Amino acid sequence: MDKNNGADKKNKRIDCFSCVYHRITWESAHPYACGAMGFKSRIMPSLEVFRTSGMPCQHYTPKRGRK
């Protein structure tokens, strides 16, 4: 049994490109957006959330696969 399993999940980087809320904007200063939280950023929204709150994004929802 791996003792670090909980720590690995907590420290895992979230891929915004695979989230249903991730958006690309036309603004060169703020090219990424999060539809769930309603903000734009120059860096990936999940990194902005982690930098601000110290917690991984709580709104991450994976996109469904194509049929």
Alpha carbons 22 and 36: distance in angstroms, whole number: 8
Percent of the chain with pLDDT strictly greater than 90: 75
Residue 9 placed within a domain: no
So what's the pLDDT on residue 10? Answer: 55
The full 3-state SS of 5-41, as one line of letters, equals HHHHHHHCCCCHHHECCEEECCCCCCCEEECCCCEEE
Query: How many separate domains does the chain show?
Result: 1
**Rounded Cα–Cα distance for residues 67 and 57 (Å):** 27
Q: What does the pLDDT read at residue 66?
A: 66
Domain containing residue 40: 18-61
Does the residue 6 lie in any domain? no
What number of other Cβ atoms are within 10 A of residue 16's Cβ?
22
Residue 24 covered by a domain: yes
- pTM flag (> 0.95): no
Query: What span, in angstroms and rounded, lies between the C-alpha atoms of 17 and 8?
Result: 20
Model confidence band, residue 5 (pLDDT cutoffs 50, 70, 90)? very low
